[in-house]
């Protein structure tokens, strides 16, 4: 499930055999290097090395320079922007020729985001059309100057930026292509919970849930007493919107990717509150041991969804 093609093409270069997923977080940068990459469902040997560097938006570039100098970033780089770096808004699709949509969107969303149109780089993906409603599109935008500052240290020597995406699509890359809709409950350490609904390789729904960033520290009793119930309510609201407002067939399964010690317990308790199967998101062996780096891994799988789609077809 590739994304932000306009942004990626600004910086893409010849591919390398070694892939590096780089995730920008509020207080750190995650670097995940993968040698001999396999698909999500393929069981094979793949060497994965993960490193976390303390950093924030003001010194991302400095941290990347340090990581490069230490030899920790070499290969084809796939970046995952943080919610602070990229903003997603939904608007009516402008009534202009397809080759003019990008230009029109810059001015259409200028009052909805904090990025100036003069410094804005954006891409968009289609939204399911509401019954009787006007066609909508989801616009993702980022600051071009900020992107240049983090791409510049990576496009040196033995590393090159191949793709740039956002968390929603990096997580969605971890799902196999299926004709039925699947809901993914996903999270990475110290980050918000994301609810995604993916069908036929398309992201139909995405929602960021605040207030769940510290699930890692919760006990079984704390998870059972309130957290699972609150999250179940948000899941029900999301599935109701998907089925009633978007007029889609019911969700067939729920997958969980919340890499905590109590992940299996969490999934079991969640299953008690739903009427569809709830399972941990299965990953192939080399990735299974690195579930806490799922965002970085998902970024390196950009483009694989299209290949899976062709195989299913």
Each residue of 169-182: pLDDT tens digit?
Answer: 999 999 989 999 99
Say how many domains are in the chain.
2
Tokens of 119: 């410094």
| DSSP designation for 46 | -
The CA distance from 67 to 185, in Å, is 31
Same domain, 194 and 127: no
On the question of pLDDT at 233 being above 80, the answer is: yes
Do the strands 120-126 and 86-92 form a parallel or antiparallel pair, or are they unpaired? unpaired
Run of H or E residues at 195:
strand 193-199
On the question of pLDDT at 306 being above 90, the answer is: no
Which residue segment(s) compose the domain that 250 sits in?
A: 175-282
Asked if 202 and 245 touch (Cβ cutoff 8 Å), the reply is no
Question: With the C-alpha atoms ordered 284, 289, 294, 296, is the resulting torsion angle positive or negative?
Answer: negative
For position 157, what pLDDT does the model report?
Answer: 81
On the question of pLDDT at 305 being above 90, the answer is: no
In a domain, 297, yes or no: no
Asked if 134 and 116 touch (Cβ cutoff 8 Å), the reply is no
Run of H or E residues at 219:
none
Same domain, 184 and 156: no
**Banded model confidence at residue 307, pLDDT cuts 50, 70, 90:** very low
Q: What are the tens digits of pLDDT across the range 54-100?
A: 998 889 999 999 999 888 899 999 999 999 999 999 999 999 998 89
For position 309, what pLDDT does the model report?
Answer: 45
Of 74-83, 122-131, 193-202, the poorest mean pLDDT is in 122-131
Same domain, 147 and 22: yes
Q: What are the tens digits of pLDDT across the range 1-13?
A: 444 444 555 555 4
Same domain, 270 and 146: no
Same domain, 219 and 70: no
**Banded model confidence at residue 35, pLDDT cuts 50, 70, 90:** confident
**What CATH number did the domain enclosing 217 receive?**
3.30.420.40
Helix ranges restricted to H, the chain: 5-11, 60-69, 101-108, 144-151, 167-172, 220-222, 228-240, 263-272, 285-288, 294-300, 304-312
For position 203, what pLDDT does the model report?
Answer: 92
Compute the C-alpha angle 57/48/301, nearest 5°: 70
In a domain, 301, yes or no: no
On the question of pLDDT at 40 being above 70, the answer is: no
On the question of pLDDT at 140 being above 50, the answer is: yes
Over residues 241-261, the mean pLDDT reads 92
Same domain, 213 and 161: no
Same domain, 116 and 265: no
Of 51-55, 253-257, 276-280, 299-303, the poorest mean pLDDT is in 299-303
* φ/ψ (deg, to 5) at 9: -65, -20
In a domain, 291, yes or no: no
In a domain, 127, yes or no: yes
Q: Calculate the CA 199 to chain-centre distance.
A: 15
Over residues 155-170, the mean pLDDT reads 92
On the question of pLDDT at 123 being above 80, the answer is: yes
Same domain, 69 and 115: yes
Same domain, 32 and 146: yes
In a domain, 288, yes or no: no
On the question of pLDDT at 104 being above 70, the answer is: yes
pTM, 2 dp: 0.88
């Amino acid at each position: 499930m590739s994304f932000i093609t306009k942004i990626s093409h600004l910086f893409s270069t010849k591919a390398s055999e070694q892939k590096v997923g780089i995730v920008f977080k509020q207080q750190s940068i995650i670097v995940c290097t993968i040698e001999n990459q396999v698909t999500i469902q393929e069981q094979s040997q793949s060497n994965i090395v993960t490193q976390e560097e303390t950093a924030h938006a003001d010194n991302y570039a400095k941290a990347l320079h340090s990581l490069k100098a230490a030899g920790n970033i070499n290969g084809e780089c796939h970046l995952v922007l943080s919610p602070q770096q990229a903003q997603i808004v939904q608007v009516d699709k402008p009534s202009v020729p397809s080759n003019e949509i990008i230009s029109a969107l810059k001015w259409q969303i200028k009052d909805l985001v904090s990025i100036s149109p003069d410094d804005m780089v954006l891409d968009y993906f289609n939204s399911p059309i509401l019954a009787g409603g006007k066609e909508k599109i989801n616009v993702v935008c980022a600051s071009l100057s900020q992107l240049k500052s983090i791409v510049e240290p990576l496009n040196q020597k033995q590393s090159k930026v191949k793709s740039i995406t956002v968390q929603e699509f990096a997580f969605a890359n971890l799902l196999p292509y299926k004709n039925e809709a699947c809901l993914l409950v996903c999270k990475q350490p110290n980050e918000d919970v994301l609810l995604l609904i993916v069908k036929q390789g398309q992201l139909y729904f995405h929602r960021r849930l605040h207030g769940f960033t510290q699930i890692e520290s919760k006990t079984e009793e704390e998870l059972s007493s309130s957290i699972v119930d609150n999250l179940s309510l948000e899941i029900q609201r999301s599935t109701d919107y998907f089925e009633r407002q978007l007029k889609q067939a019911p969700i067939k399964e729920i997958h969980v990717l919340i890499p905590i010690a109590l992940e299996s317990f969490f999934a079991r308790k969640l299953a008690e509150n739903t009427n569809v199967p709830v399972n941990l998101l299965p990953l192939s062996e080399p990735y299974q041991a690195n579930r806490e780096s799922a965002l970085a891994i998902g970024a390196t799988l950009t483009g694989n969804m299209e290949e899976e789609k062709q195989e299913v077809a």
